[in-house]
Structures are given as structure tokens and as C-alpha cells.
Structure 1
Amino acid sequence: MAEGVPAVMCRSSLALCLLLCALPSSVEARARRRTTPGPGRLVHRVDPNFVSVTIDASLAEDETFMRMLSSPKVRVLAKALSPAFVRFGGTRQDFTEFQPQRKLPAGKPRGSQPKLLTGRWEEQLMAQWRKQQRRLAREDASGKYRQVKFTESTLDELHAFANASGLDLVFGLNALLRNADNSWNASNARALLRYCEERRYRVSWELGNEPNSFEKKAGLRVSGEQLGRDFTRLREMMSESPWHRRARLYGPDVGQPRGRTPDLLDGFLRSGADAIDACTWHHYYVNGRDTSLDDFLDPKVLDSLALKTKQVIKEVKRVSPGKPVWLGETSSAYGGGAAGLSDTFAAGFMWLDKLGTAATGGVSVVMRQVLIGSGAYHLLDERLDPLPDFWLTLIHKRVVGRGVLSAATFSAQTRSGRVRLYLHCAAAPRYREGAVTLIAINLDETAADVGVPRRLASGNVDAFVLRSDRRGRDGLVSRRVTLNGVAVTMSGLTLPELVGRRTAASERVALPAFSLAFFVFTDARCRACAD
């Protein structure tokens, strides 16, 4: 965990956890904006786009598949996750090259809007995509990637999708285009930036994906210092354009700290920190090819993120104090995810715990791999229907606010580390000022009771309890989820209401076996959440 931030994995009574924000009921307290100082404190404030998503650059290998972003269903689902960033990148971004096909007209016209997919064409495209995914999986397994040319239509589709969905587009540039002296060759990026300027496309930028693995993927080694100079060159190039001058630049998108990654990150920050608006790194828990359900439920596996986060935060603070830190790409298992796990209810344990750990540890944005693209860790299935992690993400968006509160570890009626709690301010304006949201995760096969302090027992609580549609351990690999016992489904292009179960607060809340829950204490009046 970040220094000074206690772990929120609990064998837990909720009493002290919520006592951080509990209120005296005196008239004097109500007069002070109806809040009280309490013993708690705000340990971090995440970005408004804290939970964000990615689109894998593999879609551009055949630009036909970029048309999936013109699906009305995809746009409705993406818009529900707004505000958020949508990052277009990944391994294949460093094997792509912009190849303009159209002569730009004089002046600065708006780009054409791609037509929305109709139902029949959407079905045919998705059938083709399933075949394409199998080809991409074979390419991933071989570790050999073909060079791909993409045209203006990729940018047009991305911009139209982001604009219609209310998402902020981040585009990953190819960092493997190199000059003889191993410096970055910026000519292709310049052409791409010029096209975006002509079309008036608002885009933020990245340069390269996991440079620590360039040697393995392409036989090319780039030092951190050189990478920092490459980013500085890109920033200078952006500054030459009135249109791109205020655009954001993020990087270096290194893998998690191990091997030469820490040295690469240190060198990059020393030479390029001033060029970036946030420092990005990637994290996955396990290898998707040899993992198991036990890994997805293992507290020790989940605990590994806290240590990695602390290492990165410490390094960034040492070299570039105040620089925001983002998880620029992350999911459960690397290598495309674990089929039958990363796309089921079981994935939610890693995903929700990652959101809690990252926020508590000082990370400002978490980009989920992937909204749509190749692999098994996507939020939408092969029919573009929401998977369990989509619903989990959507509820998090609706009830969890930016303020991250300190919390402590307690005992619960379950095995050590298998009930995990995180405390946030509740999302505004849905909830009144001072409300708090408890995120609760039960990795255990038995239910747990979590205690509530008396001062909160007289208020109200909204409970959002997510479980698989099938009970027991075997049900964890289901692709269906229930909210408070009711199946969650989408009807046409209409999302369900996702309303919590409101009850009078009592001295205990029940946390069922193998469940993911949000408990919103609407009357907490926590002073740390009053701003």
C-alpha cells in the first residue's frame, strides 16, 4: 500500500472503518455544515475519469472491424461509463503505421461521421470477428506480429465513437519507428497529428506500449533516457501546433516493476517527466494460460498489487513529485486473459479489489483492458452484450465518488484476508454531501456479518449486492450476474435501472458468500466528503 495508508483487507467489523466518518448528533455538529471532523481523513482524490477503458489496437489490423465502434449497442454501453478515458493501444500499436489514403481538402473541415451499423450487418461483422480473434490469438501465442497499415477511417471511427459516447480519446503512437541512431522517427506521427488537426479531432496521446518488452517483441532495446527524449520530442512537436498545444500526453506505459522495468522508468522520468501529464504503468496478476479459479480467489495474489503500486508511486514521487500516476492498462490475466475466468463473474473479485487497492494506494486513473477487442478479459461478449464486469464497473461509476478515505483492518467471521473493505465518499450528485460508500468483497464460501457503528445504525443504507446467478463455487464461472437477487440484463438498447435496496441501517450488514457489494450510508455526513 502507499505509505501511511493502512490496508483495507479485513477480517472485519465495519465499526471502526465507518467510525472514520461517524457523526455526533449534536446541534453544534449540524451547524457546522451538518458534518463532524471525526478521526478519519481523506487519503487521496482520484480523477473524475478514475474508472476508464481501453480498445485494443488489434481492431485496426483489419479496419473492417473498426466498424464495431459504430454499433448502437456499443455506444449506449460506452456512454453509460462516461466520464472516462478510452485508450486505443496495446501490443499491436507498435506494429502499426498511419498510411493516408485521402487528399485533405483545403481549410479545416469536420471529419465525416461513420454510419451506424444495422442489426443484420452487425451480426455478420461479429461472426467475422470471432474468426479474426482466433487468428489474433495464434499470433499472440507465437509472439510474432505483422506490420499493419491503418488509414484515416481508423481515426474517423475512433473519434465518432468517443464523441458519441462522451469519452476522452487517448491514442497510442508507434514507438518502434526508429532512426539509425535509435531515436524515435516522428514523421509518421506528424502526419497523423496533422490529419487530426485538419479534422478538428480532440485527442490525447501516448508513445509506445510496454517499452520494457521491446527487445522481446521486436529485437530492439530502448533505454529509459532515450525514451524520455522521444517523449520530449513529441511534446515539442505538439507544441508547434495551436490545435495540439493543449493536448495531453501520457506515458511511458511500462509493465509492472520487475527485471529492468524500474531502471527504465527511472531513466525515463529523469529525461522525460516534464513532457507527460501523467505517468502510466501496466499491471496483471497472473498468466492467462496457466491460471486457475483458486488464483482469482487467493488473497495473496490480490495483495501483490499493493506492493507493486507502492514501488511505482515511490519512484515517481522521488523523481517527479506531484506527477499523477495511472494504471494505463490492466486486467486480471496477461496473455489475452484467461478464457472461462476473465470473462465470468469470478473476474469481478480481482477487478473490484484492484479498483479499491489502486485508489487507496494513490493511483488516479485505472484503464480496464478491454472494452472491446481480442482476448478473454473484455467487458462485452462476442454478441456485444455486457459481461459481469461491465455491470460491476457501471455500479462503481454510479455510487463511488472521488474521495478515498482511510480505513483499518478488523476481524470478521471468515478466514483471514478473505473479506476486503474499501471506503470512499459516495458519488455526487446521486447522493447527498457527506454520504459514504463501503466497497465489500467476500472471497469466502461462507457469509460474513460486518458490524456498523451505532451512530450510523439510525440512518439509511442502499445495498448493491452482486452475485453469480448460480450459487456455490461452480457458479463463479457463470457469465450472468444478479443484483440483490434479481438477474441483470439489457433489453434492446435500454439499460436496467440498477437500484439499490434501501433499508434502515442496523448494527450489521450481511455479506453473502462469494459476493461483491456496495453499501451506501446515505446519512453518514462525513466531513471529509463535504467538499
Structure 2
Amino acid sequence: MSSFATHLLACFFLSAARADELSIDFNNAIGMTSDGYVSFNFDWHLNSEESPAWYNSSVLVLDLKNPQLVYLASQLSPGHLRVGGSEGDVAIYDVGTHSPCKPGFCMSMDRWHELVEFCQAAKIRLVFGLNAMYGRKNKTSHFDSTNTQALLEYTAKNKLPVYGFEFGNELQSKIDPSYMADDYITIRQMINELWPDSSTRPWLIGPDENPNEDFLKKLLQKAGYAMNASTYHIYPGYGLDPHLPQQILTSSYLNKEGSLAAKLGKDINETAPNVEGWVGETAAAWHSGRNGTTNTFLSGFWYLDALASVASQNQKAFCRQTLVGGNYELLNKNTTDPYPDYFTALLFKRLMGMKFLQVKANISDDLRVYAACSNPEAAEAGAVTTAFLNINNSTSFSFTIAGLSGDQADREEFHLSSGEEGTLQSSTVKLNNKILQLQDGKLPDMSGMSQSRESPIVVKPLTYGYILFKNANAAVCSKN
């Protein structure tokens, strides 16, 4: 057991409850997200890249007919599957005059059909990243659009349903924003001509940048009218940093995602109000994550906090890097079994709705609480769900919600804790003290624990989860 885990084990015996009162504004929403908010990615990485992190995980070779993969992806429907990554800007599409393309990052049309069919089977929305560097000679030149046009023409001719096309990946230092804007306008013209019916027309999305406000504003000022969503990447940590496990359990680390989404979301809204803001790629750490950290229960402190904080900033999609691949995957690449973060995402989707509410409290920074109108599939209109995490390693927190009395305070609680005693770096997770794992390839019962108004809400050290107040009767949650 690591010294980090041993320290945590010792601290569990020191817990003592603290009581607090939280106030939720039940009359106004501070943020509005979308039904496809909980989303995820595939990447292009080959087996040889950072082996074995990407073994058989590339979008080119992943078994898209694996029934368990289809089933688990479908449980996050109607989320987006974004296909992206740096290699997308060297990929060639094996169609038209570019057929046959050389082995490597070559997308055959058979594989293109398989990818579209996978998304149809799982009822998820395909967002495919186009090669923005093809034929580009330098920073102030345009790309060669012939291969992109051939793919778009093939897709339209064969009536393949694609939710959106993204253009480029982290190219903010390689392309002048004015030239990239011209290319977006060119692609918009292609899409409009090939899909004259706006109801089936794919979205145009990008630039999928590492945050660069100057680049983003200049791009949107010129091409924002041609775009549907603006994407950016957020990675608060570094996968090779040995201190990452300790960093995740700090407020300064957890604050990064929400604050950056607020800043970029404001830039997008002010520059191109018609364009949605998306986190197009994110995980607890870049460089493929960190094995034993970003694929364990520990990662969930970041994941739950980031999901809730970004949604509160009116961002419409949160694309987790990845569904399969790297050391930050939601599903184990070898078994397709879920890691803890998959269950966290699934509960978020099932319980949290699209309207996010203001939470006010004079409490410790170690207890972080968010609130949203409940998903209509989880409860009737007026219901509220809170998401919580306690990053303190020795103190339990007890709290009440101001304004909830009588049966309004009755609730269902969903407490997530490490699947292994004494360590947060567990590849399994418990829901209300029961291990979550597939049963004959299907998800287990994930019902909450019913609690009456008389029992206090207690959040134990180093746990996170959700609380559903079915009878909250919140005014803002009773409106469409």
C-alpha cells in the first residue's frame, strides 16, 4: 500500500461530524446545459504510442461490434461521441482520388460505416474531427479541402447520420486564426450545399483548442456565424506528475476546470452568441492520464466536480477523454468493464437535469456541493438533485437544505466510496457500501438509499455522490 493510501486509512478513524446549512435558490437557474452533456471521446492513438496505454484502442481498430461496448455506451445516450486527437490532423479518408490511402492513419469507408453504425446502435451522436492540416504549407495558408470534400460528399450521398464535424485539434499555435476562419467558412458552404435540409444538416464545431483567448476570439469574430459549437480542452493535471494523487484532493486543483470554463464560455458568448460552448476534451491529467490514478475511484473527485461546475457555466457538452483508451478511460480496454468514473457519469446523467441552481453556504472548502433540477426521468417536475464531494480526509460533514421541510426533506442518497478499504486508488467503487460491477454483462441495480426528513445528511470523509429530493417542489424546476 502506498504511503498516500496508508495516510488516508489512518485518517479515517479521526472523523467527526460538522453541521452546516446550505441554501439553494429554487426560483432561478444559473446555468443551462443540454441532454447530450455527458459525452466521451475516441482517439486515433496506435498501439505503439505510450504502450500499453492505447493497446487496441484506436478508433481504427477498436471492436465497435463488442456488445458490451455498445450497451455501456448506449446507457449514456444521447451523449456525443467525439473522434479527435492530434493524429486526426494527419489522417486521410480512403475515398475518391485519395483511395487507396497509405497504411497508418487511414480511415476506410468500411470503417467509416462501422463507426456510424456503432453510434446508431448506441443511440449516441457522432462528432468527427476533420484533418485541418491536409495540404497546409504554413501558418498563413489554407488547407487542401479535397479530401474533406470527398468524405462529406460520400457521407451525404450514403445518407450516413453524423451529428457534427469538428475541424482541427490543438492547432492554435500552428495556424493563423484568420486563415482557419476562412477554412471554417469553406466547410460550412460545403455542408450547406450537401445537406440542403437543415433538419439533417451536420453541425460545424471547433476549434478544439488548448485554451487561447486571443486565438478563439479572432476565429469566432470572423467565422462564428458559420459555426454551431466552440470546443476547447481542459486538463488540470499532468499524467507524469507523481504528486497528482495528492493534487486532486485540493480545492486549487478542483477549481481549475470550472473557472476556465467560465472564462472561455464568456468569451464565446460575447463574441459569437449563437455558438454553444463545449469542453471537447478533458480528463484529470493529460499525457494519457496516470495509471492507478485517473482510472480509479480517486479520479471521481475531479470528474464529479468538473461535470457540475462546467454545467453551471452554461456549457452544453463535456467530452471525457476517453470512453476507451489511455489511462483515463471510462471502460477497461481489455475487458470493457467499467471503471469508477463510468458509474459517476451514469449517475450524473440519470439524476442531474439541465438546469443548474445557485448553492450558497458558509462551509468548509472541503465540502463542495452543486444543485440542479432533477432529470425528468428520475423524478417528477419540481425535484432537485444535489451533487457533493468531501475532500477532507478526517472530517464528516452533516448538512441540511434551508427551505426544505416536511416531506420536501425526504430524499434518496447515492454515496460513492472506494471499492477497497484504505486506498482511494481502487479500480472499483461502492454505491451505498455495495460494490458496483456488471452482472452477466448488464449494469447492477443503482437505486438510492431512502432517507426520511428526521435523519441528517452525513457525508463521510473522502466520498462523493448525489442526493435526490423528489418532493422539493422547486419553482424553477416546475417550469419547462
1:352 equivalent to 2:304? Answer yes
Supply the distance in 1 between the matched residues of 2:20 and 2:119 (Cα, whole angstroms). Answer: 40
Residue in 2 that maps onto 1:46: 33
Matched, 1:494 2:442: yes
Residue ranges of structure 2 left out of the alignment (5+ in a row) = 1-16, 49-55
Given the superposition, is the C-alpha separation of residues 306 and 495 from structure 1 closer, same or farther in structure 2, using an over 3 Å criterion? closer
* AA in 1 matched with 2:322: V
2:64 maps to 1:100: no
- In structure 2, what is the equivalent of residue 26 of structure 1? none
Q: In the aligned structure 2, how far is the partner of 1:49 from the partner of 1:188?
A: 29
Kindly tell me: are residues 310 and 231 of structure 1, through their superposed partners in 2, closer, same or farther at Cα, counting changes over 3 Å? same
Write the letter of the residue equivalent to 2:288: G
Contact 1:454 1:507 in 2 (8 A): no
Identity among equivalent pairs (%): 26
What is the rounded CA distance, in whole Å, between the counterparts of 1:505 and 1:322 in structure 2? Answer: 44
- AA aligned to 1:188 is N
Instruction: Tell me what 2:329 maps to.
Output: 378
CA distance in structure 1 between the aligned counterparts of 2:208 and 2:412, rounded to whole angstroms: 38
Q: 1:205 aligns with which of 161, 165, 170?
A: 165
Q: 1:46 to 1:60 in 2, by over 3 A?
A: farther
Q: Deviations over 1:188-225 (max 9, x none)?
A: 11111122123211111000011125xxxxxxx31111
- Whole-angstrom CA distance in 2 between matches of 1:179 and 1:454: 60
Mapped contact 1:433–1:525 kept (Cα < 8 A): yes
> How many pairs were matched up?
443
Q: Give the equivalent residue in structure 2 for 1:115.
A: none
Output the CA distance in 2 between the equivalents of 1:499 and 1:210: 40
| Alignment check: 8 A CA contact 1:197 1:244 kept | no
Q: Provide the TM-score with structure 1 as the length reference.
A: 0.79
Compared CA separation, residues 102 and 95, structure 1 to 2 (3 A):
closer
TM-score (norm 2): 0.87
Residues 1:437 and 2:385 aligned together: yes
Find the aligned partners of 2:390 and 2:110 in 1 and give their Cα distance.
45
Aligned to 2:420: 470
Corresponding residue number in structure 1 for 2:361: 409
The root-mean-square deviation of aligned C-alpha atoms, in Å, is 2.4
Q: Please tell me the residue identity of whatever aligns with 1:449.
A: S
Contact kept in structure 2, 1:12 and 1:409, CA below 8 Å: no
Distance in 2 (CA, whole Å) between partners of 1:85 and 1:306 is: 20
Q: How does 1:106-505 map to 2 (within 5 A)?
A: 148-180=105-137, 182-203=141-162, 204-213=164-173, 221-242=174-195, 246-256=201-211, 261-290=212-241, 291-373=243-325, 375-381=326-332, 382-411=334-363, 416-446=364-394, 447-453=396-402, 455-459=404-408, 460-472=410-422, 475-505=423-453
- Structure 1 pair 509/55, CA: closer, same or farther in 2 (3 Å)? same
Q: Is the 8 A contact 2:19 2:397 kept in 1?
A: no
Aligned-residue offset at 1:478 = 0.4
**C-alpha deviation, 1:450, in angstroms:** 1.6
Alpha-carbon distance in 1 for matches of 2:272, 2:98:
43
Could you say if the C-alpha distance between residues 64 and 363 of structure 1 is closer, same or farther in structure 2, counting changes exceeding 3 Å? closer
**CA–CA distance in 2 between the matches of 1:359 and 1:365?**
8
Counterpart residue number, 2:75: 80
Distance 1:157 1:69 in 2: 7
Deviation readout 1:416-453 (Å, 9 max, x if unpaired):
41110001001103201100001010111132112233
Distance 1:200 1:403, change over 3 A: same
- Specify the SS of the correspondent of 1:398: helix
Q: CA deviation at 1:239?
A: 1.2
User: Given that residues 101 and 152 in structure 1 are in contact (C-alpha distance below 8 angstroms), is that contact kept between their aligned partners in structure 2?
Assistant: no
Q: Distance in 2 between matches of 1:438 and 1:172?
A: 34
Question: d(CA) in 2 for partners of 1:398 and 1:368?
Answer: 17
- 1:465 and 1:294 map into 2 onto residues whose CA distance is 22
Quote the residue 1:33 is aligned against.
none
Correspondence for 1:515 among 449, 454, 463: 463
What is residue 116 of structure 1 aligned with on the other side?
none
Q: Deviations over 1:117-167 (max 9, x none)?
A: xxxxxxxxxxxxxxxxxxxxxxxxxxxxx9622211221121111000000
Which stretch of structure 1 is more off in the superposition, 309-318 or 272-281?
309-318
Is the alpha carbon distance of 1:149 and 1:243 closer, same or farther for their aligned partners in structure 2, counting shifts above 3 Å? farther
Separation (CA, whole Å) in 2 of partners of 1:292 and 1:44? 30
Amino acid at match of 2:276: P
Q: Tell me the equivalent position of 1:530.
A: 478
Distance in 1 (CA, whole Å) between partners of 2:349 and 2:365 is 25
Post-superposition CA distance 1:236-292 (Å, at most 9, x none): 111111368521111111112xxxx22211211111111110111110101111142
Deviation, structure 1 residue 492? 2.3
Mapped to 2, the partners of 1:520 and 1:320 lie a distance apart of 36
Distance (Å, rounded) in 2 between the aligned partners of 1:458 and 1:239: 53
Name the CA distance, whole Å, in 2 between partners of 1:208 and 1:12. 49
- Does the CA-based 8 Å contact 2:96-2:150 persist in structure 1? no
Q: Note the C-alpha offset of 1:490.
A: 0.1
Partner of 1:132: none
Task: Please state whether the residue corresponding to 2:236 is helix, strand or coil.
Answer: strand
AA of the residue aligned to 1:197: A
| Paired residue secondary structure (1:269) | helix
Distance 1:294 1:156, change over 3 A: same
* Among candidates 12, 21, 38, match of residue 15 of structure 1: 21
* Contact 1:55–1:372, Cα closer than 8 Å, also in 2: yes
Show structure 1 runs of 5+ residues with no match. Answer: 1-10, 22-39, 105-145, 214-220
